[in-house]
């Protein structure tokens, strides 16, 4: 038996698997919303961009399953003390013509590569296009932030294990991916902060109206921004809304017109059923 593998922290791989399972779970909401967005988008080029985002998140989910299997295999091989053992000949020597048993180090390195592949696929999914840069954002920032942070935590644990196995070259190889995951999280998971110290009070009728109006994703985004910027109920210029949401100004103007048409936005550009007030006791 080969006992060269470290045993100081045999919880690293199970913890990495837990992080990957979390990442896989959190991708579901984003994928579902993007599928609905693609189906509801009439502009062909815009719909194509969203479809590619859907395909890449699907690919990331599939690769994640392989990464989980690889980590579970590496952990199982170690737990069972299986590490490239050969068959023996009649004299008890290694017999190399027959294949050896599994290699946990090789399987672990494979898992790191798969996690890296997931990171690169998600990076491609949220790479801004020249015509529609505003699409390169998370529809569910909280879930995607958790997914990307969990991916990073899993890769960090795998790199720690590779370092303990004295595979410094592999650790250096994935350092840029760790940085990329942090930058991707910060870029695509931005949320619009509320302005001022007041508490935004939203009428329950407004939620029902938003659901029943049959509006598109641009209208929903504009409505949500107006909702969280309810302090003082000041009108926001279309250009400022476009800058905060990474939309073109013409898209915001069309969205505001639609929201006014269905009675959700007043003529002064503020949202019906929203006001600022004291936080409830």
CATH of residue 100's domain is 1.20.120
Final residue in a domain of this structure, among 169, 188, 207: 188
126's CB contacts (< 8 A; 6+ apart) are 53, 136, 137, 138, 184, 187, 188
When pLDDT is averaged across residues 184-200 and rounded to a whole number, the result is 63
| 243 & 164 share domain | no
User: Are 32 and 138 in a shared domain?
Assistant: yes
Instruction: Tell me, yes or no, whether 183 and 203 share the same domain.
Output: no
The residues, ordered by sequence, that sit 6+ positions from 112 with a Cβ below 8 Å of its Cβ are: 155, 158, 159, 162, 170, 174
Number of domains making up the chain: 2
- Of the candidates 188, 218, 234, which is a domain's last residue? 188
Q: Are residues 153 and 98 in the same domain?
A: yes
Interatomic CA distance for residues 233 and 231, integer angstroms: 5
Residue 3 lies inside a defined structural domain of this protein:
no
pLDDT digits (tens, 9 = 90+) for 208-230: 555 555 567 677 777 777 766 55
* 6 located within any domain: no
Instruction: State the pLDDT confidence band at 152, using cuts at 50, 70 and 90.
Output: very high
67 and 205 part of one domain: no
Residues 106 and 150: beta-carbon distance below 8 Å: no
What's the rounded Cα separation, in Å, for the pair 98 and 104? 19
Domain enclosing residue 165, as ranges: 12-188
Give the confidence band of 231 by pLDDT, cuts at 50, 70, 90. very low
Q: Which of 188, 222, 253 is the last residue of a domain?
A: 188
Regarding whether 203 and 179 lie in a shared domain, the answer is: no
> Are the CB atoms for 121 and 171 separated by under 8 Å?
no
Average pLDDT over residues 125-143: 90
Query: Is 4 a domain residue?
Result: no
pLDDT at 236 over 80: no
User: What predicted TM-score, i.e. pTM, was given to this entire model?
Assistant: 0.68
Instruction: Tell me, yes or no, whether 23 lies in a domain.
Output: yes
Is there a domain that residue 193 lies in? Answer: no
Does some domain include residue 2?
A: no
User: Do 132 and 224 fall into the same domain?
Assistant: no
Assess whether 174 and 245 both reside in one domain.
no
Token reading at 244: 């905060």
One domain for residues 130 and 256: no
What is the average pLDDT across 260-270?
74
Residues 68 and 162 in one domain: yes
Within this chain, do residues 117 and 250 fall inside the same structural domain, yes or no?
A: no
The answer as to whether 1 is a domain residue is no
Q: Check which CATH number belongs to the domain holding 204 and give it.
A: 1.10.10.10
Are 136 and 43 part of one and the same domain?
yes
Sign of CA pseudo-dihedral 136, 137, 139, 145: positive
Predicted local distance difference test score (pLDDT) of residue 29: 93
Domain annotation covers residue 7: no
pLDDT band at 281 (very low <50, low <70, confident <90, very high): very low
């Amino acid at each position: 038996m080969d006992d060269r593998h470290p045993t100081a922290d045999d919880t690293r791989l199970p913890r990495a698997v837990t992080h990957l399972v979390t990442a896989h779970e959190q991708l579901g909401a984003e994928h579902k919303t993007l599928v609905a967005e693609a189906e509801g988008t009439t502009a062909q080029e815009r719909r194509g961009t969203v479809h590619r985002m859907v395909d890449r998140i699907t690919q990331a989910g599939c690769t994640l399953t392989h990464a989980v299997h690889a980590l579970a295999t590496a952990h199982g091989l170690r737990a069972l003390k299986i590490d490239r053992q050969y068959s023996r000949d009649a004299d008890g020597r290694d017999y190399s013509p027959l294949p050896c048993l599994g290699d946990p180090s090789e399987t672990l390195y494979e898992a790191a590569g798969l996690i890296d592949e997931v990171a690169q696929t998600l990076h491609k999914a949220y790479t801004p296009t020249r015509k529609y840069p505003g699409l390169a954002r998370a529809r569910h920032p909280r879930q995607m932030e958790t997914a990307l942070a969990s991916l990073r935590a899993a890769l960090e644990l795998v790199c720690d294990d590779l370092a303990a196995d004295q595979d410094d070259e592999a650790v250096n190889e994935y350092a840029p991916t760790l940085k990329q995951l942090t930058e991707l999280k910060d870029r695509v998971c931005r949320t619009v902060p509320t302005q001022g110290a007041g508490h935004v009070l939203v009428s329950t009728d407004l939620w029902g109206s938003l659901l029943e109006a049959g509006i598109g994703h641009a209208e929903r985004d504009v409505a949500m921004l107006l909702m969280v910027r309810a302090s003082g109920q000041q009108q926001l210029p279309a250009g400022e809304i476009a800058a905060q949401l990474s939309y073109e100004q013409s898209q915001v103007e069309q969205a505001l017109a639609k929201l006014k048409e269905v009675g959700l936005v007043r003529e002064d550009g503020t949202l019906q059923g929203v006001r600022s007030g004291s936080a409830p006791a």
